[in-house]
């Protein structure tokens, strides 16, 4: 059986270090806002090439608290994509603001800078480019529009830890970079976890306060906050895993190269990215005309696949109230019918990649687009 991701293979490699890290926290009995959280925030800010980091409870809260720290609220609009995980839009509605969905580019399947610009109105307060699949949006064009129109930029980096665009790291372009450490992400905790990074004295310091009940001091609350803290056990685990992230990313890149070589020249749409982008391959997403049939063929051969994501956010039952009709986002709506995520993780064997690629070559029908 080849799973889509294999967390056990990675755990076997680091179990002793993880055990020591967890036991270290248990020995101190300091579970909240201790040394591990501080050290992880310092290390992760450095990893992202930014001034500061606020560790929070999960990636959804990272986005929500970053928007709140930027003053997004009732009556505001935030432009993002419908081709993403629902958390991106939930963060907007949690603030009382309205998500406005812009279409994606057919090649990269990421936010189209021109569609984004066209979606901006006088109510727009912020933009959320989503660096989906481990790629990166065109941050040159997006930051250009943001500064011209005076808009805040919150990068959704939940799938792009360590990715680069024109040399700059994911999360280092906008006012805030928001990360998830959900177990299956490129850097995953053993539970829920997330972080917001920003330039020094920027959004992250306000997020740090919001995430800890708006505290300035133990019983002085500067603002109405929430409880969304990273705990010491997760921070200790993340410190161990952050040290390996560079090596794991290189292994993902190797798997992606093997797939690219093995699938070149057959009836499959391969991932496309801007030459300025250095992706970290959270997912390896191909496009085919017979997605469900190919999925079934792979399943017969014990290969697990995924679809990220089958129903775009503007057509989700939860967002019916926004009144957006089918047909509103033509590229998004076409793409979701063709996408298929193949297994990718650092420990995936070359032989497994070869045999998955062989099945794909045998049964894939060309995509329409």
Ligand X SMILES: *Cc1c(COP(=O)(O)O)cnc(C)c1O
Site of interaction with ligand X (CB under 6 A): 58-60, 84-85, 87-88, 130, 156, 158-159, 180, 182, 192, 194
Report the nearest approach of ligand X to the CB of residue 84 (Å): 5
Instruction: Specify the DSSP class assigned to residue 338.
Output: T
Q: Give the torsion through C-alpha atoms of 151, 164, 246, 244, to 10 deg.
A: 10
Please give the Cα distance from 90 to 64 (Å, whole number). 8
Please give the Cα distance from 270 to 274 (Å, whole number). 13
Report the nearest approach of ligand X to the CB of residue 58 (Å): 4
Could you tell me where the beta strands, DSSP code E, fall in 23-166? Answer: 52-56, 77-81, 98-102, 124-127, 152-156, 164-165
Report the nearest approach of ligand X to the CB of residue 354 (Å): 28
Pick between residue 59 and residue 162 the one whose CB is nearest to ligand X: 59
Residue in the shown chain whose Cβ atom is closest to ligand X: 59
Report the nearest approach of ligand X to the CB of residue 68 (Å): 15
Pick between residue 291 and residue 308 the one whose CB is nearest to ligand X: 308
Pick between residue 88 and residue 273 the one whose CB is nearest to ligand X: 88
Report CA Rg, the chain. Answer: 20
Supply φ then ψ for residue 197, to 5 degrees: -115, 155
Please give the Cα distance from 99 to 359 (Å, whole number). 40
Pick between residue 268 and residue 314 the one whose CB is nearest to ligand X: 314
Report the nearest approach of ligand X to the CB of residue 107 (Å): 19
Pick between residue 36 and residue 84 the one whose CB is nearest to ligand X: 84
Cα 320 off chain centre by: 24
> Beta-carbon neighbour count of residue 119 at 10 Å?
18
270 and 264 Cβ atoms separated by less than 8 Å: yes
Please give the Cα distance from 324 to 248 (Å, whole number). 40
Report the nearest approach of ligand X to the CB of residue 329 (Å): 17
Pick between residue 194 and residue 279 the one whose CB is nearest to ligand X: 194
* Residue (of 278, 260, 257, 277) closest to 268 by Cα position: 260
Please give the Cα distance from 215 to 210 (Å, whole number). 7
Please give the Cα distance from 233 to 36 (Å, whole number). 8
Report the nearest approach of ligand X to the CB of residue 194 (Å): 5
Strand partners, 111: 104
Report the nearest approach of ligand X to the CB of residue 195 (Å): 10
Pick between residue 145 and residue 180 the one whose CB is nearest to ligand X: 180
Pick between residue 181 and residue 360 the one whose CB is nearest to ligand X: 181
């Amino acid at each position: 059986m080849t799973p889509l991701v294999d967390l056990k293979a990675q755990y076997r490699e680091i179990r002793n270090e993880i055990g020591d890290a967890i036991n270290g926290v248990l020995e101190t009995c300091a579970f909240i806002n201790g040394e591990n959280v501080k050290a992880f925030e310092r290390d992760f800010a450095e990893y992202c090439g930014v001034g500061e980091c606020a560790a929070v409870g999960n990636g959804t809260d990272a986005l929500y608290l970053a928007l709140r720290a930027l003053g997004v609220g009732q009556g505001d609009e935030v432009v993002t994509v419908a081709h993403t995980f629902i958390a991106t839009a939930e963060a907007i509605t949690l603030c009382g603001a309205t998500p406005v969905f812009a279409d994606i580019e057919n090649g990269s399947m990421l936010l189209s800078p021109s569609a984004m610009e066209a979606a901006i109105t006088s109510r727009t307060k912020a933009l959320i480019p989503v660096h989906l699949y481990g790629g990166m949006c065109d941050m040159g064009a997006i930051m250009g529009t943001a500064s011209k129109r005076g808009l805040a930029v919150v990068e959704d980096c939940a799938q792009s830890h360590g990715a680069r665009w024109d040399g700059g790291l994911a999360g280092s372009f906008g006012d805030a970079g928001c990360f998830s450490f959900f177990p299956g992400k490129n850097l995953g905790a053993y539970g829920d976890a997330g972080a917001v990074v920003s330039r020094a004295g920027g959004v992250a310091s306000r997020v740090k306060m919001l995430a800890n009940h708006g505290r300035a001091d133990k019983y002085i609350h500067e603002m109405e906050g929430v409880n969304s803290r990273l705990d010491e056990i997760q921070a200790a685990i993340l410190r161990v895993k952050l040290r390996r992230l560079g090596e794991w990313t290189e292994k993902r890149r190797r798997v992606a190269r093997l797939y690219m070589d093995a699938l070149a020249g057959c009836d499959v749409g391969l991932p496309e990215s801007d030459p300025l982008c250095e992706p970290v391959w959270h997912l390896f997403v191909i496009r085919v005309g017979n997605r469900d049939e190919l999925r079934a063929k792979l399943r017969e051969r014990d290969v697990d696949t995924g679809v990220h994501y089958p129903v775009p956010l503007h057509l989700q039952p939860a967002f019916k109230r926004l009144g957006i009709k089918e047909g509103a986002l033509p590229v998004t709506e076409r793409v979701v019918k063709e996408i298929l995520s193949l297994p990718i993780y650092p420990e995936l064997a070359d032989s497994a990649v070869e045999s998955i690629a062989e099945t794909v070559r045998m049964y894939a029908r060309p995509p329409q687009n």
